[in-house]
Amino acid sequence: AQSVTQPDIHITVSEGASLELRCNYSYGATPYLFWYVQSPGQGLQLLLKYFSGDTLVQGIKGFEAEFKRSQSSFNLRKPSVHWSDAAEYFCAVGSPSGSARQLTFGSGTQLTVLP
């Protein structure tokens, strides 16, 4: 069974500082990988996804993520955080095989941005 671990429950950074959110997955092969963001009381918005190819993926809002097969990781990064980035971030995996496109999510990382 596939699983996702987000080791950091809560991260606090100052506005303008760089950010890295960690994600590790467990899966028999290379899964499809996703990062979503959720603001309070809202649904999930896709930031970026990785299916294959270039292991550095660019997303919306200035976010990027790097897939590292050897570490089973897909960490999310942003060079300079804005106050509006405060939200909860979820890493998710999906299985490339089979017909059902089910997502398995991590437990999330809550990001606080200090002025």
Partner 1 sequence: DAGVTQSPTHLIKTRGQQVTLRCSPKSGHDTVSWYQQALGQGPQFIFQYYEEEERQRGNFPDRFSGHQFPNYSSELNVNALLLGDSALYLCASSSGWGYTFGSGTRLTVV
How far apart are CB 99 and partner 1 at their closest, in Å? 6
Does 43 engage in binding with partner 1 (CB under 8 A)? yes
Give the β-pairing of 56-58 and 109-114: unpaired
Q: Which of 7, 12, 51, 60 binds partner 1 (CB under 8 A)?
A: 51
Give the β-pairing of 10-14 and 109-114: parallel
How many whole angstroms separate alpha carbon 16 and alpha carbon 78?
10
Cβ nearer to partner 1, comparing 45 with 80: 45
Does 11 engage in binding with partner 1 (CB under 8 A)? no
